[in-house]
Amino acid sequence: MRPNKQFNVIIERDEDGFFIASVPSLPGCYTQAKTMSELAERTKDAIRLCLEVATTDKKYQARIKRFSYNPSFVGLEVMTI
C-alpha cells in the first residue's frame, strides 16, 4: 500500500454560489461544485487525475516544477476602501 499524500486546497465561492477548489502544487488542478461535500469528492478526483497525468506527461511534469507552490495559510482579511 502506498502512503497517503496531502495537498493544500484553496476553496472559494463564486458569485453564482458555486464552490471552487484549486490545488496550487498541481498547476491546472481545479474543480467546482454546488456543495462542499460534492466539491471534496470532485477535488480528490481532480488530484488523482493530475497525478496520473504527471506520471507520463513530460510537459505537465515541467509545469509542476515551474509553476507549483505549496501555500502556507496565514489568514483572510476583508478590507474596505
Percentage of the residues of the chain whose pLDDT score is greater than 90? 80
pTM: 0.84
Domain around 43 = 10-63
What is the rounded CA–CA span in Å between residue 35 and residue 25?
A: 23
Q: Cell digits for 24?
A: 496550487
The answer to whether position 15 is within a domain reads yes
Give the residues across from 40 on adjacent strands.
none
Give the position of cell 456543495: 35
The answer to whether position 56 is within a domain reads yes
The answer to whether position 40 is within a domain reads yes
The answer to whether position 71 is within a domain reads no
Q: Give the mean pLDDT of 57-72.
A: 92
Tell me the CB-side half-sphere exposure of residue 41, using CA atoms within 13 A: 5
Q: Per-residue confidence at 73, pLDDT binned at 50, 70, 90? A: confident
